[in-house]
A and B are shown apart, each in its own frame.
Chain A
Amino acid sequence: MTTTMIFAGSGGQGIQFSGKQTAKTAMHQGKNVTFLPSYGPEMRGGTSNCTVVISDEEIGSPSVTSPDVAVVMNLPSFDKFEPRVKAGGLVICDSTLIDKKSDREDIDALYIPASELANENGLTGFANVIILGGLIKKTGLFTYDEFLSLLTGSIPESRAALKEKNEKALKIGYDLV
C-alpha cells in the first residue's frame, strides 16, 4: 500500500516540519518513505509545500501530481492542490485561513479552524500540529502515541514548555475529529 501526501501553506507555518514529522514517524513504522520539499526563497515567506510518500513497496517517484491527501493551510494552496486530490482522497484545511469549501463530491474534506484554535489555547504557531492531530486520527496512518513520541521525543527536557505545547496542540486536533 502507498499513501501520497502534499502539505502546503505559507512559509513559516511549519509546513516542512509537518511533512518531515510524518515521514519520520512512517520510517519508524518500518515503511519506505520519501520527503520532497519545495526549496528556494520559501523560508522568507511565500508559498511552501512538500510531498511525502509512504509505502510498503520500493518508492519510485518522490514527486506526486495527484496526492491521496492534501493538507492545505492557506487559500492559494487550497486552490492549487484541492483540485488535484485523487478521487477517494482527502483534503484537510485550516478553515480559519481558508474560507472556501470543497465542492468535489468524490473526495472527503476535513475543516479544522486550526489557527483560531491555536490562538485561543495559547498555542500561536502550533496550528500545523493541531492539523497533524486531525490528520492522524482521520487517516489512521499512525496511532496517537507513536506520533506523539516522535513529535516530542527529540525535544530536550530543558525545553519542557515546547514539549507541552506540541502535545497539547496534537491532542486538540486529534480530539476534534
Chain B
Amino acid sequence: MAQKVLMKGNEAIAEAAINAGCLYYFGYPITPQTEISEYLAKRMPKVGGLCLQAESEVSAINMTLGAAAAGSRAMTSSSSPGISLKSEGISYIAGSDLPCLIVNVQRGGPGLGGIQPSQSDYYQATRGVGHGDLRLIVLAPSSVQEMASLTAEAFDLADTYRMPAMLLADGALGQMMEPVDFSLFEKREVPEKAWAANGHGGKRKKNIINSLYIDPQELEDSILARYKRYAEVEEKEVKYEEFMTDDADIVLVAFGITARICKSAITAARADGIKVGLLRPITLWPYPKKILNSIAGRAKALLTVEMNMGQMVDDVRLAANGQCPVHLYTRTGGMIPSVDEVENKIREIAASL
C-alpha cells in the first residue's frame, strides 16, 4: 500500500517537483511560500539538482528562463509581490516559447499587502502577468494532494505545449498540512526538446532561443503560431470538478481553498433541502467556459465566491452569458470567508428564487 505522508502544501509542491524530474529551482524568500525553497535546499543536492537562492526575484525568473532554454525542467516560486517582480521575465519566457513552472502562493495585495491567504492575483495570472499577447496555463489546487499532483501536471503541460505554467495557490494551501500520496500521479508522454540550446559539440545546427523580432510580420507570425497552441490547450486541457450540480438550483463557482469552504457550506445547506452545488475550476486558464455555460442554462442562479474583490466573476459572467443571475460573495485582504458566511449567502439567494 502506498504510504501517505502528512505534509505542508509548500513541501508537497517541492517534493512533487523533484518527483517530476525538475532539477533546477531558483527562488527568493517571501512568506507564505518560503518552505518550498527550504525543502528544495535540502533535497535538490541529494538528487543531483540545483536549488539556488538568487539575489532577487528578477534574477530568479531569468535564471529559470536560462535553465528552461537549455531544455531542463526548471521552476521558480514566489508570493504575490514577488510574482509582480517576475512578470517581465515571465513575458520573456512566454515570448521564447519556453516551458517552466511558476508557483504563486498568493497573499493579500496590492503593494506589500499582507501575508495572509488571498486570491487577488486571479487577474494577474489569467490576464496580465507580463506584457504582450501571452497566456499561461494556470492550475488552481484545492488540497495538499493537488498541490503535488498539479505540480507534476503543470510540468507535463508546459513541456507539451512549450509554454510556462503557473500553479496558483494561496497562503492557506501553502501552510496547511494534509496527507499526500505521491504514488497517485499520472505521467504524460511529453515531446523531446529538440529546440533546446543545450550544447551539442557542433553536431547539429545551432538552436536559438529568442523573443525579439524586429520585423513586425515575423513577430505577428510567431504570435499566431503560439496562439494555435493556445487554442489547442483551450480545446484539450480544461479541468474542473463538479460537486452536487446535477439537480442544483444554485451553483457556486469557486477555486482553490475557497471551493472547500463552499463545499462545507453546500453540505450544510443541502441538509435543509436547498438544492445547491459547486463548479470548481481546476484550470483557471483555460477556463471551463463550456460546462459553466451549460450549468448557467439550467440553474436558477450562480454564486461566485472569491478571496478578492471579484475577479473570476468576470469569467463566470462571460460564460453564463446572461442566462441566469450571477451573485458574488467576497472577502479580501487576507480574510478567509467562513462557512457560515457562505451558507448565509446561499440561504439569501434561495429565499429570493
- Please report A residues at the B interface, Cβ cutoff 8 Å: 20, 23-24, 27, 32-37, 39-40, 58-65
Given contact pairs A24-B6, A65-B338, A39 touches B171 in the complex (Cβ within 8 A) = yes
Interface residues of B (CB under 8 A from A): 4, 6, 31-32, 115-116, 171-172, 175-179, 257, 260-265, 267, 336, 338-340
A63 contacts B179, CB within 8 Å? no
Q: A60-B260, A62-B260 are in contact. Are A39 and B32 (CB under 8 A)?
A: yes
- A23 and B339 form a contact (CB under 8 A): no
- Asked whether, in the complex, the Cβ of B263 is within 8 Å of the Cβ of A36, the reply is no
Contacts of A61 in B (CB 8 A): 260-261, 263-265, 338-339
CA–CA, A33 and B6, complex, Å: 9
The CA of A40 and the CA of B172, in the complex, are separated in Å by 12
Q: Count chain A CB atoms within 10 A of each CB in B31, B177, B261 and give the residue with the most.
A: B177
Known: A33-B6, A60-B264. 15 other contacts (CB 8 A): A33-B178, A34-B178, A35-B178, A36-B176, A39-B171, A40-B116, A60-B260, A60-B263, A60-B265, A61-B263, A62-B176, A62-B257, A63-B172, A63-B338, A64-B339
What's the minimum C-beta distance from A38 to chain B, rounded to whole angstroms? 9
Contact A33 B172 (CB under 8 A): no
CA distance A39 to B264 in the complex (A): 23
Q: Which residue of B lies closest to A60 (CB)?
A: B264
Chain A residues closer than 8 Å to B263, beta-carbon distance: 58, 60-61
CA of A36 to CA of B263, assembled, Å: 17
Check B115–A35 contact: CB distance below 8 A.
Answer: no
The docked-state distance in angstroms from the alpha carbon of A59 to that of B339 is 12
Contact B260 A36 (CB under 8 A): no
- Considering only CB atoms, which chain A residue lies closest to B340 in the complex? A65
Are B336 and A27 touching (Cβ within 8 A)? Answer: no
Q: Which residue of A is nearest B115, CB measured?
A: A40
- Cβ contacts under 8 Å, A20 to chain B: 6, 177
A63-B178 in contact given A24-B6, A39-B115, A39-B171 (Cβ < 8 Å) = no
